[in-house]
Structure 1
Amino acid sequence: MSRRIRVLVVDDSVVVRRLVSDVLSADPTIEVVGTAANGKVALAKIDQVNPDLVTLDVEMPVMDGLETLRNLRKDHPRLPVVMFSTLTERGASATLDALELGASDYVTKPANVGSVQASMEAVREQLVPRIRGLCRHVVRPAVGAPAPSVPTVPAVAGSATPPQRTGRVDVVAIGASTGGPDALSTVLAALPGDLPVPVVIVQHMPPVFTRQFADRLNGKVALEVAEATAGMPVRPGRAVVAPGDFHLRFRGAAATGQVVSTLDQGTPENYCRPAVDVMMRSVVDTWGGNVLAVVLTGMGSDGARGCAEVAAAGGSLLVQDEASSVVWGMPGAVVSAGLSPSVLPLPQIGPAIVERVRAGRGVVLPAREVSLS
């Protein structure tokens, strides 16, 4: 039998605790079982109220969010935790620290929205889907409820499931969302710095966060990693990350190696900007079928339609398996769409990328063994 998701709300602001509690309590699938004004109180309450998920403020007196998370993970390594952070340089840095410490996801606090009602709506749009996604084992669809929609993908002439190529790879395109920062760190750490193809990435993140995330990756992995800017060359040995609130596309001639990134604030797709689908379409327009598309953990279905275009062009697909995904929405959508991707656990994806690139080029590219701990 399904039941409501039990949530503990932790924030030093009584206004924020009330706002978040009211938003969550209004949802029939969620029950707020407690609140706490700091991490010390929260840790004491976890065993008392037995939550399915904790929302955790980053900046609090007595015990802040990071210290709370460190202590929480000792006794509750699998309890989902959603950080509540500000959309600032400091907030972004602390949130990325929290993700490295094992936070499941994050939402940004509403700012300059003009009214309490607007603030509540902003929290509802961000937080409720994440709670449901991270606690999908608790809530099951009611009998007779419509099944989750599967993205409609374009048919391929002469075949319901387009054959995947095993030939030349000229670009690796990666999409990720919830759980993606940790997954991307693991994948990129396995790639050599002299990878003979570029890597292009969409990780669903807001502005400020993407730049700091790219900078952190650049200091940890052998590849050069940078947040994409307009006109930035897309070249072998470099991974470019789409900036928050901008779609990432490409312009130029792949045959001559003269490809640059372009950025725009076109209409969001799948409620996302940047969107994986937008990037994947542009990758096909630029590199044709010489594409390896990779979809990692994340909510929703962003990337499924783009992967269909990659497959139709003759490229190959690789997705993270359900067991190693924080949320198997995006990779699961590619599988459900009938695109027959290779499905691998997270630790095997980086080496598989190296092998796919190597196989099409006749060169030796040993995967790296790097610990990010």
Structure 2
Amino acid sequence: MNFFRPSKAALAALLVYATMAASSAAQPAETFLPACYKPAPGDNRLIQYPARSGPYRMALVNGYTGIPWRAQMIEETRAWAARPENAAQIKELKIVSTGADVAAQIAAIDNFIQAGYDAIAFDAVNPKAFDAVARRAKQAGVVLISFDNAVDTSAIVRITPDWVEFEAIKAQAVVDMMPAKQGRLLEVRGPAGNSTDRDRHAGLTKVLSRYKDIKVTEVTGNWDTGTVQKVVSDAIAVNGNFDAIVCQHGCAGVTSALKAARSPAIPVGGDAANGFVKGLIEQKLPGISVSTSPGQGPVAMQAAIALLQGKALPSLVNLPTPYALTKDMKPNVNYFPDLPDTLETVSGYANCGVQFSAAEMKRYLTNTNQGS
């Protein structure tokens, strides 16, 4: 297949990066949809590209696989792109998953760059190693966006929760629910080397540094429910019951392990997967559900289209962090008794105009289970 390749001079004139240093007094009106795409504290850089006409060829390169969150994110991205107002802007949408191999993910991004795609969003395997591919995207005039697991380069737009604050919210709530601010807390971490795991661990450490009588035991759950259940069960078997647990993701494994061990009703902080939230309710566990929505995929695609249209975005965007305490949870609002445990209960971001109904989410889960 042959692709049109403009001259270097034309490419430089038309598609060069326009990375703008904004002052601390920058006005929100300078950027696209500021209620959604809020700059991270202390980061005033903006990124903007020359506008080009659509419709656009878009790609999403997912890395880590094997957890329902990623499957729902992909299905929500497809559904969002199929809505008439979005489909009018998208000539083609290609989605691939590369697993935990960073070289494979970079190769997939390079393939889309070489194939002449207009924009590529990716959920990075780790925060490093993407500087070179960001430069290659820049040279080719391709909009590159990192989301969820942010990369450590300011050359592209990165969209992510503030993961340090995210886990700090969870950890502080768990400590607040402990009858005495002492004892043993189990931390269930994600994949080693991942930027999200790194930052979330930092958030928990930030909180617990103020409580010298709380001792932390770490295990690695890899964000996988089955793995989480095993490592929590093993930790209880070796150490006895804990006084509190903070889990990053796959946290239905925590409630299952506590139930099997006949543990006392200890405070638990975890994700927003339907199974975990239902476990809190059914086992009467004091706890908190903190969400990172799979709606990040559509939010990243929406940002890519805005950049292709010449609009500016902050270099580092921090999305809001929805959460709910057990005492405040309501059926069919915070959890869904008739929907699968794998459902992520917070499907989108209202401030971004990305939302999905329970019926839509059920359909996406059906599509996922059928392998679509």
Q: TM-score, normalised by structure 1?
A: 0.34
Of Structure 1 and Structure 2, which has the larger fraction of its residues in helix? 2
For CA contacts below 8 A with separation 6 or more, give which structure has more relative contact order: 2
